[in-house]
Amino acid sequence: MPRSRRDRGHQAPRTEERPMVDARSATTGCLAGVRILDLTQFEAGPSCTEALAWLGAEVVKVENPKGGDPGRTSFRSGPGQDSWYFLLFNANKKSITLNLKSPRGIALVNDLARKADVFVENFAPGAIERLGLGYDAIRKVNPGIIYAQVKGFGTGSPFEDNLAFDMIAQACGGIMSVSGERDGPPVKPGATLGDTGTGMLLAISVLGALYRRKGTGQGERLEIAMQDAMLHYIRVCFAAQATSGRPAERAGAKLASGGNPPCGIYPCKPGGPNDYVYIYTSRANPAHWHRLLQVIGREDLIGNPQYETGLARTEHEPQIDEMISAWTRQRDKNEAMRILGAAGIPAGAVLDTGELQNDPSFEKRGIMQTIQHPACGPFKMPAWPVRHDGAPPPVKPAPLLGEHTGDVLGAWLGLSADDVKGLRRDGVI
């Protein structure tokens, strides 16, 4: 199904040589001028503030002078280097160090909060209040602030004081119960839904609150719990449960929401762990099935009542899977995807992270970008995947620990170089 080339004139020209990341609006962010005071660590909070940084907000990460965000060092990449993990979740941010065990450090957080539009934290339950930086304290110095928190379990939950990490949220939020082989144990998806999945929902609410605040100056308190956030990503399973009356089940590579064969992965040459192609035919378009029969050389079955409807195919799923496999086994996954896709059948090769990392299309289109990090060297990493006027925003390297302490204390609070030197001497920064 070719589409008109006419409609592409407004986009950056597609050339092999020129990455698309330098298009018009990508260099100016939507959120230019927005100040985020970022007291987050690891992933759930940092993924949220990084999304805001990618859209142009000034995100100032407040870190412990002794080592900073534990994400810098908990996942080692090399001696004395920040981890790749840290680089991935903290691009485009600034870093300042502040000693939160020092009263002057806490006072500086208050001073910075007075100048900020948004305050974000994801400490363990109760920690931010024990520091004297809870919402009631911060809104006293800045009633218009948007104060955003990530919790493991929601306020009012029987588990509100419990610790949580990504995998705990995926267990308690239903994700694992619907992921895995049909008769096997629950699986934790490799995607960090408990962290980044939560961070994205909080980013949406922060942006909604910023939009209102721009008109009214109104502050707001936002809170998201990782367990609660998980329900949002398995709503099709709640639909399946409402229909069947039973909890949604695991279904391997097929659909937890119920079958619509063909739907699943089919084995390809040469038989490695990810040598499969996913094939699906839509409920809403019966033509997909007919196209598939043509591609696999089984035109003889077009119109055959044993296979013509979704219901009939559900009854003959093993036969269908076998006839498709007979075709896919003769091909590698990329070839299978090319042929099926070109014929208008929804199909996709199962690609691993190495194949994705090395696929030139991602780099050419700016979906992956290479940063030059002063300590870690060049690193190609996934960028914000939404294209704004043709290109994703450019990625800037994650900051070194305390890289912007002087700059930010100067620009936000008017402190002089001497003031900063004094704070450093006194162990405050």
Per CB under 8 A, does 292 bind a second copy?
no
> Is the Cβ of residue 129 or residue 426 nearer to a second copy in the bound state?
129
Q: What is the DSSP string of 90-123?
A: STT-EEEE--TTSHHHHHHHHHHHHH-SEEEE-P
Per CB under 8 A, does 40 bind a second copy?
no
In the list 102, 110, 115, 167, the residue contacting a second copy (rule: CB under 8 A) is 167
Residue type, 46: P
User: Is residue 259 within 8 Å of residue 311, measured between CB atoms?
Assistant: no
- Token couple for 150: 């990530």
Segment interacting with a second copy (CB under 8 A) among 95-103, 204-212, 320-328, 406-414: 204-212
Nearest alpha carbon to residue 20 among 397, 385, 398, 351 = 385
> Is the Cβ of residue 287 or residue 417 nearer to a second copy in the bound state?
287
Nearest alpha carbon to residue 389 among 31, 5, 49, 27 = 27
Minimum separation from the CB atom of position 187 to a second copy (A): 6
List binders of a second copy among 72-131 (CB under 8 A).
Answer: 74-77, 83-85, 87-89, 124-126, 129-130
Binding footprint of a second copy, residue count (CB under 8 A) = 172
In the list 220, 321, 363, 403, the residue contacting a second copy (rule: CB under 8 A) is 220
In the list 110, 252, 329, 419, the residue contacting a second copy (rule: CB under 8 A) is 252
> Is the Cβ of residue 104 or residue 130 nearer to a second copy in the bound state?
130
- 354-357: Cβ within 8 A, 24+ apart: 355/274
Per CB under 8 A, does 136 bind a second copy?
yes
Handedness of CA 304, 308, 312, 318 (dihedral sign): positive
User: Is residue 43 within 8 Å of residue 75, measured between CB atoms?
Assistant: no
Helix (H) or strand (E) holding 401: none
- Token couple for 99: 């000693």
Per CB under 8 A, does 212 bind a second copy?
yes
d(CA 321, CA 319): 6
Minimum separation from the CB atom of position 291 to a second copy (A): 10
Q: Angle at the Cα of 142 (from 139 to 143), degrees rounded to 5?
A: 60
Catalytic amino acids?
Answer: 195
Segment interacting with a second copy (CB under 8 A) among 196-204, 321-329, 395-403, 410-418: 196-204
In the list 35, 61, 93, 254, the residue contacting a second copy (rule: CB under 8 A) is 254
Q: How far is CA 112 from the centre of its chain?
A: 28
In the list 119, 276, 289, 327, the residue contacting a second copy (rule: CB under 8 A) is 276
User: Is residue 112 within 8 Å of residue 66, measured between CB atoms?
Assistant: no
Segment interacting with a second copy (CB under 8 A) among 295-303, 324-332, 384-392, 415-423: 384-392
Minimum separation from the CB atom of position 123 to a second copy (A): 10
Residue 33 phi/psi, 5-degree rounding, is: 95, -15
Segment interacting with a second copy (CB under 8 A) among 58-66, 255-263, 296-304, 311-319: 255-263
Minimum separation from the CB atom of position 225 to a second copy (A): 7
> Is the Cβ of residue 35 or residue 406 nearer to a second copy in the bound state?
35
Segment interacting with a second copy (CB under 8 A) among 58-66, 102-110, 220-228, 322-330: 220-228
Residue type, 276: Y
Residue written as token pair 């806490």: 106
Per CB under 8 A, does 357 bind a second copy?
yes
Minimum separation from the CB atom of position 311 to a second copy (A): 11
In the list 141, 200, 302, 339, the residue contacting a second copy (rule: CB under 8 A) is 200
Per CB under 8 A, does 22 bind a second copy?
no
Segment interacting with a second copy (CB under 8 A) among 100-108, 150-158, 294-302, 316-324: 150-158
Q: At what angle do helices 417-425 and 405-413 cross, to 10 degrees?
A: 120
Nearest alpha carbon to residue 401 among 14, 3, 80 = 80
Per CB under 8 A, does 332 bind a second copy?
no
d(CA 233, CA 250): 15
> Is the Cβ of residue 101 or residue 421 nearer to a second copy in the bound state?
101
Nearest alpha carbon to residue 154 among 164, 145, 146, 144 = 164
